[in-house]
A and B are shown apart, each in its own frame.
Chain A
């Protein structure tokens, strides 16, 4: 027999979840089946899906390459201004994504280092590279946060034992630390991809939001909404919901403990 307190809290939880479900799920009811299928296989949508997956995979790979040494450093080593480093890396999680977009545009554009890069023949804004940079900046803090928790969670004495048994610091990192952090690495990778796929405002600013050129799924949703093509817009939204749902479900299943702790 559940107590009144327990029943009340479960009731609140169910009510809130239902509201979320109804609001998100209502999007699935808007387009007609034919409208959805036509939008899904349209040239523009296929381009948006491909570009989103392509840029997200590259960004997530870059994020993981940079994230592993950084998360390990923050978890294991002490150095001056470590707390400040953590705050700076966490910042993009706290303020609106649009701020990251504007900051990047200012820095990489003609007001920043853009002119110098142009002389060298390098263009970092309003193209695919710009999208990858924007996704990197938005998703990186989330990935570091998860992986930092994972490394923090691993008892350093596993590494001590490995080293006492004849393995160098690097060999210990690859033989002991990384295998023990497997679930956290997986969770970090999933969250990085999910964030990259869902990034909108910064991608719009740095990528330029150009139709069939820098049009990711999130940007496609915005562009089509502004031109009144509801079917295209909602289809892009539904795809984003499905991708996010899969990413979170996979992460919940395989990496609960790594995801739950925090900075």
Chain B
């Protein structure tokens, strides 16, 4: 592994990290997302060497760097508010780190090169306080990249920018990081950064990484209630497993409502964890295992009539609420005591003529029903 963090704990009083584990491959772009105060910035500033861990190790290129001062770690950082030196112009800001590493001639050549790539070659002699948000952030990125760091840490680099500038800068960062083969660790609270940049994503809360994995995996298979909630899985229900086979688990969430899940990973875990759930004839005998299930709103399909489909879950309900949000419509459907939330485009909502109190069918694939495995009740379920 290129960067390997093991059981890292930091205590700064107000902010802390506890037992953080994190790996990054060379050239990988990892995005850590989490609510404000989750310890994202503290993690970056600990990796770079500004805070001393009370426990754990940080390994960069197979070398433990805990006791190496920041100036010798070869890690650059880009902040949300750029932190460009206000007493220097754009050129001097970019040259600041480079002149420590390269000759004057090389510095000039490199600045020329990187300025063109970052599209700041026409503002090199401008004062920092005359730059727009995008120009300042491109300068900050150039200053970080020019020293050819082993890796770059980005602390919410787009948060202070308008949407158009964010989008331009996102594609610029993506291209530049690929070109320079830079390993990047980016922290943010903006989901767009995850979709646009991340090779992998980590979800952080209370100084800990709750889940780390491929973007699609984390968003579709959250491993905890918090992650599910944070990544926007709005349909979370508690139920009991009534039947289980290696491929499908039937989960009863109401008197008449049973949901099929093909969350194979979790079904395997359940099979391993509860050996007593089958009798000698391999029949499922335990009816009391409680689980949480999660379904993303965008995976729910609406129809006015029942229809044949590969989706193993189809049920009828009544629309209780319609919430319009930009180009999408969130439709709440009541089935027994549960509210299912589904997402439609505005045009689909018009075609289906969704309105309050109308009866509709909702369908979703069993593959899209995620069983949350670390649910407290699930972990402590008793075997009768």
Contacts and interface: CB of A to CB of B under 8 A. Distances in A.
Partners in one complex: yes
Interface of A: 155, 157-158, 160-169, 176, 179-180, 182
Interface of B is mostly: mixed
Interface in B48-79: 48-50, 69-71, 73, 75-77, 79
A163 B85 contact: no
Interface stretch (B96-104, B171-179, B199-207, B217-225): B96-104
B69 A168 contact: yes
B85 A158 contact: yes
Interface of A is mostly: helix
B310 interface: no
A160 B69 contact: no
B294 interface: no
Interface of B: 45, 48-50, 69-71, 73, 75-77, 79, 83, 85-87, 96-97, 100-101, 143, 147
Contacts of A176: 85
A-B pairs with lowest CB-CB distance, top 6? A165-B97, A163-B70, A166-B100, A157-B83, A163-B71, A179-B87
B86 A180 contact: yes
A173 to B, nearest CB: 13
Q: Which one of B69, B77, B101, B143 has the greatest number of beta carbons of chain A within 10 Å?
A: B77
Nearest to B79: A157
Contacts of A182: 87
A180 B86 CA distance: 8
Given A165-B100, A166-B100, A166-B101, A160 B48 contact: yes
B50 A165 contact: no
B52 to A, nearest CB: 13
B96 A164 contact: no
Contacts of B101: 166
Nearest to A160: B50
12 contacts: A160-B50, A160-B70, A161-B79, A162-B85, A163-B49, A163-B70, A164-B49, A164-B75, A165-B143, A166-B97, A166-B100, A180-B87
A171 to B, nearest CB: 8
A2 B101 CA distance: 60
Nearest to B100: A166
Given A163-B70, A164-B70, A165-B143, A158 B100 contact: no
A179 B75 CA distance: 24
A168 B85 contact: no
A161 B48 CA distance: 10
B183 to A, nearest CB: 15
Contacts of A167: 71, 97, 100
Contacts of A155: 83
Given A157-B79, A164-B49, A165-B100, 19 more contacts: A155-B83, A158-B83, A158-B85, A160-B45, A161-B79, A162-B96, A163-B70, A163-B71, A164-B73, A164-B77, A165-B76, A165-B96, A166-B97, A167-B71, A167-B97, A167-B100, A169-B69, A179-B87, A180-B86
Nearest to A165: B97
B237 to A, nearest CB: 44
B80 to A, nearest CB: 10
A57 B96 CA distance: 35
